[in-house]
Amino acid sequence: MICNPRLIRSIHTSCVQLKKVPNKAKSHSSHQWLSRQMTDPFVELAKTKNYRCRSAFKLIEINERAKILQPGQTVIDCGAAPGSWTEIAVSETNADGKQKKKPKGFVIGLDLLTIHPIEGAHLLSHADFTDTKTQDRIRELLNGRKIDCVLSDMAPNATGVRTLDQDKIMDLVHSVLQFAVLMSSENASLLVKIWDNGNVKKFEEVALRYYKSIKQIKPEASRGDSAERFLLAKEFRGLENITKSDST
Protein backbone atom coordinates (compact mmCIF):
# COMPACT_ATOMS: atom_id res chain seq x y z
CA MET A 1 0.00 0.00 0.00
CA ILE A 2 1.40 3.43 -0.96
CA CYS A 3 1.04 5.89 1.92
CA ASN A 4 1.56 9.60 2.17
CA PRO A 5 0.40 11.10 5.50
CA ARG A 6 0.22 14.66 4.16
CA LEU A 7 -1.85 13.51 1.21
CA ILE A 8 -4.22 11.55 3.45
CA ARG A 9 -4.72 14.55 5.73
CA SER A 10 -5.79 16.73 2.82
CA ILE A 11 -7.96 14.27 0.87
CA HIS A 12 -11.24 16.00 1.65
CA THR A 13 -9.94 19.45 0.77
CA SER A 14 -8.28 18.16 -2.38
CA CYS A 15 -11.48 16.49 -3.58
CA VAL A 16 -13.42 19.73 -3.19
CA GLN A 17 -10.72 21.70 -5.02
CA LEU A 18 -10.46 19.15 -7.81
CA LYS A 19 -14.12 19.65 -8.68
CA LYS A 20 -13.20 23.16 -9.75
CA VAL A 21 -10.18 22.10 -11.84
CA PRO A 22 -10.52 21.35 -15.57
CA ASN A 23 -10.25 17.68 -16.49
CA LYS A 24 -7.07 18.30 -18.43
CA ALA A 25 -5.40 19.81 -15.36
CA LYS A 26 -6.62 16.94 -13.20
CA SER A 27 -5.15 14.43 -15.61
CA HIS A 28 -1.79 16.21 -15.69
CA SER A 29 -1.60 16.48 -11.89
CA SER A 30 -2.56 12.83 -11.40
CA HIS A 31 -0.02 11.73 -13.98
CA GLN A 32 2.75 13.68 -12.23
CA TRP A 33 1.91 12.14 -8.85
CA LEU A 34 1.72 8.61 -10.23
CA SER A 35 4.96 9.03 -12.17
CA ARG A 36 6.76 10.23 -9.06
CA GLN A 37 5.43 7.31 -6.99
CA MET A 38 6.36 4.76 -9.65
CA THR A 39 9.93 6.05 -9.90
CA ASP A 40 10.46 6.49 -6.16
CA PRO A 41 12.67 3.63 -4.89
CA PHE A 42 11.53 4.18 -1.30
CA VAL A 43 7.90 3.48 -2.21
CA GLU A 44 8.81 0.04 -3.53
CA LEU A 45 11.23 -0.60 -0.67
CA ALA A 46 8.51 0.22 1.86
CA LYS A 47 6.35 -2.49 0.27
CA THR A 48 9.23 -4.97 0.39
CA LYS A 49 9.99 -4.25 4.04
CA ASN A 50 6.27 -4.18 4.91
CA TYR A 51 6.41 -0.66 6.33
CA ARG A 52 3.20 1.32 6.32
CA CYS A 53 4.79 4.28 4.55
CA ARG A 54 7.99 5.33 2.79
CA SER A 55 8.61 7.88 5.55
CA ALA A 56 9.94 5.01 7.69
CA PHE A 57 13.25 5.38 5.88
CA LYS A 58 13.62 8.98 7.00
CA LEU A 59 13.64 7.92 10.65
CA ILE A 60 15.77 4.86 9.92
CA GLU A 61 18.46 7.00 8.32
CA ILE A 62 18.37 9.65 11.06
CA ASN A 63 18.57 6.97 13.76
CA GLU A 64 21.46 5.21 12.05
CA ARG A 65 23.37 8.49 12.03
CA ALA A 66 22.39 9.87 15.44
CA LYS A 67 21.47 6.80 17.55
CA ILE A 68 18.46 8.47 19.16
CA LEU A 69 16.48 5.24 19.68
CA GLN A 70 17.75 2.52 22.00
CA PRO A 71 16.25 -0.53 23.76
CA GLY A 72 14.41 0.37 26.95
CA GLN A 73 13.64 3.96 26.00
CA THR A 74 10.33 5.79 26.32
CA VAL A 75 9.33 7.45 23.05
CA ILE A 76 6.45 9.70 21.96
CA ASP A 77 5.58 9.85 18.23
CA CYS A 78 3.47 12.91 17.37
CA GLY A 79 1.66 12.88 14.04
CA ALA A 80 2.14 9.14 13.84
CA ALA A 81 -0.42 8.07 11.19
CA PRO A 82 -0.26 5.80 9.33
CA GLY A 83 2.30 4.45 11.80
CA SER A 84 5.65 3.85 10.11
CA TRP A 85 7.67 5.93 12.59
CA THR A 86 5.92 4.23 15.49
CA GLU A 87 6.79 0.85 13.98
CA ILE A 88 10.47 1.84 13.87
CA ALA A 89 10.34 3.24 17.41
CA VAL A 90 8.79 0.01 18.73
CA SER A 91 11.42 -2.11 17.02
CA GLU A 92 14.40 0.00 18.10
CA THR A 93 13.28 0.42 21.72
CA ASN A 94 12.11 -3.19 22.06
CA ALA A 95 8.68 -1.98 23.13
CA ASP A 96 7.19 -5.22 21.79
CA GLY A 97 9.56 -7.29 23.95
CA LYS A 98 10.78 -9.39 21.04
CA GLN A 99 14.44 -8.93 22.01
CA LYS A 100 14.33 -11.10 25.11
CA LYS A 101 17.74 -10.14 26.49
CA LYS A 102 17.29 -6.38 26.08
CA PRO A 103 15.29 -3.89 28.17
CA LYS A 104 11.73 -3.26 27.05
CA GLY A 105 10.80 0.20 25.86
CA PHE A 106 7.56 2.15 25.92
CA VAL A 107 6.12 3.89 22.85
CA ILE A 108 3.11 6.18 22.43
CA GLY A 109 1.89 7.20 18.97
CA LEU A 110 -0.83 9.78 18.36
CA ASP A 111 -2.49 11.52 15.45
CA LEU A 112 -5.61 13.36 14.36
CA LEU A 113 -6.24 10.41 12.04
CA THR A 114 -6.91 6.77 12.82
CA ILE A 115 -3.82 4.68 13.56
CA HIS A 116 -4.38 0.98 13.13
CA PRO A 117 -2.99 -1.24 15.91
CA ILE A 118 0.78 -1.70 16.21
CA GLU A 119 2.07 -4.42 18.52
CA GLY A 120 3.97 -2.89 21.41
CA ALA A 121 2.64 0.65 20.94
CA HIS A 122 0.04 2.63 22.87
CA LEU A 123 -1.94 4.55 20.25
CA LEU A 124 -4.14 7.63 20.50
CA SER A 125 -6.22 8.15 17.36
CA HIS A 126 -8.25 11.29 16.64
CA ALA A 127 -6.04 13.08 19.16
CA ASP A 128 -4.91 16.68 18.73
CA PHE A 129 -1.46 17.01 20.29
CA THR A 130 -1.96 20.73 20.91
CA ASP A 131 -5.08 20.02 23.01
CA THR A 132 -4.35 19.94 26.75
CA LYS A 133 -6.69 16.96 27.11
CA THR A 134 -4.49 14.94 24.75
CA GLN A 135 -1.35 15.91 26.64
CA ASP A 136 -3.02 14.95 29.91
CA ARG A 137 -3.87 11.57 28.39
CA ILE A 138 -0.22 11.11 27.39
CA ARG A 139 0.84 11.85 30.96
CA GLU A 140 -1.62 9.24 32.22
CA LEU A 141 -0.16 6.63 29.88
CA LEU A 142 3.38 7.55 30.89
CA ASN A 143 2.44 6.94 34.52
CA GLY A 144 5.50 8.73 35.88
CA ARG A 145 7.92 7.79 33.10
CA LYS A 146 10.18 10.45 31.65
CA ILE A 147 10.51 10.62 27.87
CA ASP A 148 13.83 9.70 26.23
CA CYS A 149 12.92 10.78 22.71
CA VAL A 150 10.15 12.93 21.26
CA LEU A 151 9.46 12.47 17.55
CA SER A 152 7.25 14.76 15.49
CA ASP A 153 6.46 14.27 11.82
CA MET A 154 3.47 16.60 12.21
CA ALA A 155 2.66 19.17 9.55
CA PRO A 156 -0.42 21.35 9.08
CA ASN A 157 -2.62 21.07 6.01
CA ALA A 158 -1.03 23.35 3.43
CA THR A 159 -3.07 26.45 2.56
CA GLY A 160 -0.85 27.49 -0.33
CA VAL A 161 -0.01 30.74 1.45
CA ARG A 162 3.65 30.26 2.22
CA THR A 163 3.99 32.58 5.20
CA LEU A 164 0.83 31.23 6.81
CA ASP A 165 1.94 27.62 6.33
CA GLN A 166 5.36 28.41 7.78
CA ASP A 167 3.82 30.06 10.83
CA LYS A 168 1.50 27.10 11.38
CA ILE A 169 4.25 24.49 11.33
CA MET A 170 6.42 26.60 13.64
CA ASP A 171 3.49 26.80 16.07
CA LEU A 172 3.40 23.00 16.05
CA VAL A 173 7.12 22.54 16.70
CA HIS A 174 7.03 25.08 19.52
CA SER A 175 4.19 23.13 21.17
CA VAL A 176 6.22 19.92 20.84
CA LEU A 177 9.31 21.60 22.31
CA GLN A 178 7.33 22.93 25.26
CA PHE A 179 5.93 19.47 26.04
CA ALA A 180 9.35 17.82 25.60
CA VAL A 181 11.01 20.25 28.01
CA LEU A 182 8.43 19.47 30.70
CA MET A 183 8.37 15.70 30.22
CA SER A 184 11.84 14.59 29.06
CA SER A 185 14.59 12.83 30.97
CA GLU A 186 18.09 14.27 31.08
CA ASN A 187 20.03 13.64 27.81
CA ALA A 188 16.79 13.02 25.88
CA SER A 189 16.44 13.83 22.18
CA LEU A 190 13.91 15.78 20.13
CA LEU A 191 13.27 15.33 16.41
CA VAL A 192 10.77 17.63 14.65
CA LYS A 193 9.80 18.27 11.05
CA ILE A 194 9.98 21.81 9.71
CA TRP A 195 9.54 23.57 6.40
CA ASP A 196 12.51 25.73 5.47
CA ASN A 197 11.72 29.28 6.56
CA GLY A 198 13.14 32.33 8.29
CA ASN A 199 11.78 31.39 11.71
CA VAL A 200 13.84 28.21 12.01
CA LYS A 201 16.92 30.04 13.29
CA LYS A 202 14.89 31.58 16.13
CA PHE A 203 13.54 28.16 17.06
CA GLU A 204 17.06 26.73 17.13
CA GLU A 205 18.16 29.50 19.48
CA VAL A 206 15.28 28.72 21.84
CA ALA A 207 15.90 24.96 21.69
CA LEU A 208 19.59 25.45 22.54
CA ARG A 209 18.55 26.78 25.94
CA TYR A 210 17.35 23.26 26.72
CA TYR A 211 19.51 20.97 24.56
CA LYS A 212 23.28 20.88 24.16
CA SER A 213 23.17 20.58 20.37
CA ILE A 214 20.82 21.04 17.45
CA LYS A 215 21.22 20.48 13.72
CA GLN A 216 19.19 20.31 10.54
CA ILE A 217 18.94 17.02 8.67
CA LYS A 218 17.58 16.27 5.20
CA PRO A 219 17.34 12.46 4.91
CA GLU A 220 17.85 10.81 1.55
CA ALA A 221 14.25 9.58 1.67
CA SER A 222 13.02 13.18 1.89
CA ARG A 223 12.27 14.20 -1.68
CA GLY A 224 14.69 16.72 -3.16
CA ASP A 225 11.96 19.11 -4.32
CA SER A 226 10.44 19.26 -0.83
CA ALA A 227 11.07 22.14 1.61
CA GLU A 228 10.94 19.53 4.37
CA ARG A 229 13.77 19.40 6.89
CA PHE A 230 14.18 17.83 10.30
CA LEU A 231 15.65 19.48 13.37
CA LEU A 232 17.43 17.14 15.74
CA ALA A 233 18.13 18.41 19.25
CA LYS A 234 20.22 16.14 21.48
CA GLU A 235 21.28 15.89 25.11
CA PHE A 236 18.45 17.57 26.96
CA ARG A 237 19.96 19.48 29.87
CA GLY A 238 17.29 18.37 32.33
CA LEU A 239 14.52 20.55 33.69
CA GLU A 240 16.13 20.83 37.13
CA ASN A 241 19.45 21.97 35.66
CA ILE A 242 17.72 24.51 33.44
CA THR A 243 15.74 25.90 36.39
CA LYS A 244 18.92 26.24 38.47
CA SER A 245 20.73 27.95 35.59
CA ASP A 246 17.89 30.44 35.07
CA SER A 247 17.84 31.31 38.76
CA THR A 248 21.55 32.16 38.96
The pTM of this model reads 0.81
Percent of the chain at pLDDT > 90 equals 65
> CA 62, 181, 78 angle in degrees (round to 5)?
50
Phi, psi of 114, rounded to the nearest 5 degrees: -75, 135
Q: How far is residue 139's CA from residue 120's CA, in Å, rounded to a whole number?
A: 18
pLDDT tens digits along 109-150: 999 999 999 999 999 999 999 999 999 999 999 999 999 999
pLDDT tens digits along 42-70: 666 666 667 888 889 999 999 999 999 99
Per-residue model confidence (pLDDT) at position 197: 82
Among 146, 193, 202, 218, which one carries the catalytic annotation?
Answer: 193
Q: Are 110 and 78 in contact (CB under 8 A)?
A: yes
Is 54-247 assigned to CATH 3.40.50.150? yes
Per-residue model confidence (pLDDT) at position 70: 98
CB-CB neighbours of 33 under 10 Å: 12
Per the annotation, the verdict on 193 as an active-site residue is: yes
